């Protein structure tokens, strides 16, 4: 026997119904927002991901040499590929460019509940829009997706990188190390970095600032802690609050969280993370924010903002809230009574399927009794009994498997009978 690779999953038909439900909810909301679907390669040049996230990211990737001795990697997320696609081929399109995609991604990290080495993401990006409008749009789409799935427990935590960048009195490279420590909530790392930079006096205000979260009132408190610096960022968050209200997003669905840092160099402005609180320690289901990557990949500077949601965590959240009902059942299971009528039974099956109903037929050659047992096990609503006696009258037997009743129905009326049932 062969074991599946560590950090991967086999998904049952019941699992896939849930996963497709989540994907369909996202697609429906994204397209209602005017986003259009694209797709990018499953693997890219390793250099692309290193340019985006730094050479250290290689340790987290499925990276290898292909048969042409080129360094490639399975994608760990979609943003780098989408921006590469934009810079190479989409720059001439009218702005803003609003796109979405979904599919598998891969990271070589320690597996944990709801976080695997192979996972599926939902991604949406706005390129070339006005910053405030675009940020509000993507947050509304992310929250709208969770609503469409049926989740009641939805919480966005919104911050702004700009306030900390304005406060930290050193260059971008050192800022990146401090922001990384803040992002990880790693106080010893933060203390070590500030000691190295001879700015130990910043330790206390930074530790206090990342602990602030709540409604708009905490923005004033945070601004005082930072000595009045970062005023533009705080003003921006107040404007964003007004925009979200116009989208019908309730203050109960988000909070301002100064600890949301997302410490990667390319994040430049508003950042946010999305939680489903019912998941406890695994509550985060996604995140995103405003970033600049086009110029890193050889393009002109352009405003960009987007987010990604994890399908695995969204499914877990929906299960925890009891969103999913029973998997869709067969509308009809066709039972040929004897080989002589199998051809006619297949014709009837095809007619049922052509009407958009779910239907199956015996492929084993069971007798009628065992076929009815199988139909019940499959949770089919009806069994369609195709026998010579009934066919002479151009009819079939229609058995309600839940009620246990049976009646004769003309073949020409079968689809109508199944649809009305």
| 13-320 CATH choice from 3.90.420.10, 3.30.930.10, 3.40.1480.10, 3.30.70.580 | 3.30.930.10
Looking at the predicted structure, is the pLDDT value of residue 49 above 80? yes
Residue 230 pLDDT:
80
Which whole number is the average pLDDT over 321-344?
93
- Residue 41, by phi and psi: left (phi above 0), alpha (psi -120 to 50) or beta? beta
Gap between the Cα atoms of 419 and 352, Å rounded = 10
Looking at the predicted structure, is the pLDDT value of residue 41 above 80? yes
How confident is the prediction for the chain on average, in pLDDT?
Answer: 92
Looking at the predicted structure, is the pLDDT value of residue 31 above 60? yes
Which whole number is the average pLDDT over 209-230?
88
The boundaries of every CATH 3.30.930.10 domain in the chain are 13-320
Which whole number is the average pLDDT over 162-175?
85
The boundaries of every CATH 3.40.50.800 domain in the chain are 332-420
* Residue 188 · residue 203 · CB < 8 Å: no
| Neighbouring C-beta atoms of residue 335, cutoff 10 Å | 26
Gap between the Cα atoms of 385 and 370, Å rounded = 13
Q: pTM here?
A: 0.90
| 332-420 CATH choice from 3.40.50.800, 3.40.1190.20, 3.40.800.10, 3.40.50.720 | 3.40.50.800
Residue 264 pLDDT:
63
Looking at the predicted structure, is the pLDDT value of residue 57 above 70? yes
All residues at 6 or more sequence positions from 379 whose CB lies less than 8 Å from its CB, including other chains? 326, 329, 330
All residues at 6 or more sequence positions from 103 whose CB lies less than 8 Å from its CB, including other chains? 39, 42, 78, 120, 121
pLDDT digits (tens, 9 = 90+) for 237-254: 999 999 999 999 999 999
pLDDT digits (tens, 9 = 90+) for 106-146: 999 888 888 899 999 999 999 999 999 999 999 999 999 99
pLDDT digits (tens, 9 = 90+) for 173-214: 888 888 888 888 888 998 999 999 999 998 888 888 888 999
Sign of the alpha-carbon dihedral angle for 29, 30, 31, 33: positive
For the chain, how far is it from start to end, CA to CA, in angstroms?
46
Q: Is residue 56 very low, low, confident or very high in pLDDT (cuts 50, 70, 90)?
A: confident
């Amino acid at each position: 026997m062969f074991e599946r690779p560590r950090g991967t999953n086999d998904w049952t038909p019941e699992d896939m119904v849930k996963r497709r439900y989540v994907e369909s909810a996202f697609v429906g909301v994204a397209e209602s927002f005017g986003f259009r679907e694209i797709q990018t390669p499953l693997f890219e040049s390793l250099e692309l991901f290193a340019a985006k996230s730094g050479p250290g990211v290689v340790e987290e990737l499925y990276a290898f040499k292909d048969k042409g001795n080129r360094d490639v990697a399975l994608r760990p997320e979609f943003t780098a590929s989408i921006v590469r696609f934009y810079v190479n081929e989409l720059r001439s399109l009218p702005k803003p460019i609003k796109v979405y995609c979904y599919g598998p991604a891969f990271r070589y990290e320690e597996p944990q509940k709801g976080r695997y080495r192979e996972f599926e993401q939902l991604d949406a990006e706005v390129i070339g829009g006005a910053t405030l409008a675009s940020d509000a749009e993507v947050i509304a789409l992310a929250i709208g997706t969770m609503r469409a799935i049926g989740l009641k427990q939805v919480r966005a935590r919104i911050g702004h990188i700009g306030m900390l960048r304005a406060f930290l009195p050193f260059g971008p490279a050192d800022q990146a190390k401090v922001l990384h420590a803040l992002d990880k909530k790693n106080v010893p790392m933060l203390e070590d970095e500030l000691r190295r930079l001879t700015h130990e006096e910043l330790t206390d205000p930074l530790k206090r600032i990342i602990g602030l979260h709540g409604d708009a009132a905490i923005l004033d408190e945070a601004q005082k802690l930072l000595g009045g610096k970062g005023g533009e960022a705080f003003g921006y968050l107040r404007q964003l609050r007004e925009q979200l209200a116009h989208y019908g997003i309730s203050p109960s669905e988000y909070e301002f969280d100064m600890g949301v840092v997302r410490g990667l160099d390319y994040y430049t402005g508003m950042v946010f993370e999305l939680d489903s609180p019912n998941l406890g320690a695994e509550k985060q289901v996604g995140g995103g924010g405003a970033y600049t990557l086009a110029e890193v990949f050889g393009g002109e500077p352009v405003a960009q903002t987007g987010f990604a949601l994890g399908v695995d965590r969204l499914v877990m959240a929906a299960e925890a809230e009891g969103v999913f009902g029973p998997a869709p059942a067969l509308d009809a299971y066709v039972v040929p009574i004897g080989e002589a009528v199998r051809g006619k039974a297949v014709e009837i099956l095809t007619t049922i399927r052509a009407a958009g109903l779910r239907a199956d037929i015996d492929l084993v050659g069971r007798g009628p009794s065992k076929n009815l047992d199988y139909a019940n096990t499959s949770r089919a609503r009806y069994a369609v009994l195709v026998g010579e006696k009934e066919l002479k009258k151009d009819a079939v037997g229609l058995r309600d498997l839940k009620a246990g009743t049976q009646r004769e129905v003309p073949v020409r009326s079968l689809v109508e009978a199944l649809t009305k049932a």
